[in-house]
Amino acid sequence: MRFLSGVRQFLKKSARRENGNLTLESLLMFPIFVMTVSLAYTFFDGFRQSTLNIKAAYTVSDLISREKGLINDTYITSMRTLMQRMVDSPAEMRLRVSHITYDAENDEYFVDWTTTCGFPGIWNDSNIELLRDRLPPMADAEPMIIVESSNDYEWTVKPAWLNTDYQFENYVFTRPRFDPVRGDVSLQGCQT
């Protein structure tokens, strides 16, 4: 009992004092400081990773839109490799490239060709409507290149309250610069 009353008196005296003990205050604030700095670094790193992903997707989309030759599986595989090197992430980069045309009279989209590297499925005439809300307005018979990329973000410091990983998904829509881009691609372009 005597020990508890001594502790109680010490705490009362300490609470009334206005001078601080730098060591004690540092000990109390250091964990909060470390957590704040590590979370700030993690979130800034996440934004950096997101920016790299979108830049890589725009680069691939622009390269494909300027292509005058035939797009084949080797070309798509090299685009995925380019994206992986631009992003420089240990996580797998997924890429899906599609060429669609819009029919204004029937208000329908048609898939001319599509290929995927790492995505579970491809777009076709029956399921392209799932993208309708994301697609930009298009003129009749206008071709459009869709480049979809996806990459998992690996947290630098993963907080305990964050129980899921984050996935960056990008959709880039580009009109072909010259003629409609011709594709001779298989349904599973990247066999890596």
pLDDT, mean of each 10-residue run, the chain (192 residues): 78 69 79 88 87 93 88 86 89 88 90 86 86 88 90 76 76 84 63 50
The radius of gyration of the chain from alpha carbons, rounded to an integer in Å, stands at 27
Q: At what angle do helices 22-65 and 73-87 cross, to 10 degrees?
A: 160
| Residue 192, pLDDT score | 47
Reading the block at residue 54, the tokens are 């979108």
- 8 A C-beta contact, residue 98 and residue 111: yes
- 190 Cβ partners below 8 Å, 6+ apart? 73, 76, 77, 80, 95, 115, 116, 117, 118
pTM higher than 0.85 for the full model? no
- 117 Cβ partners below 8 Å, 6+ apart? 76, 77, 80, 93, 94, 95, 96, 189, 190, 192
Kindly report the length of the chain.
Answer: 192
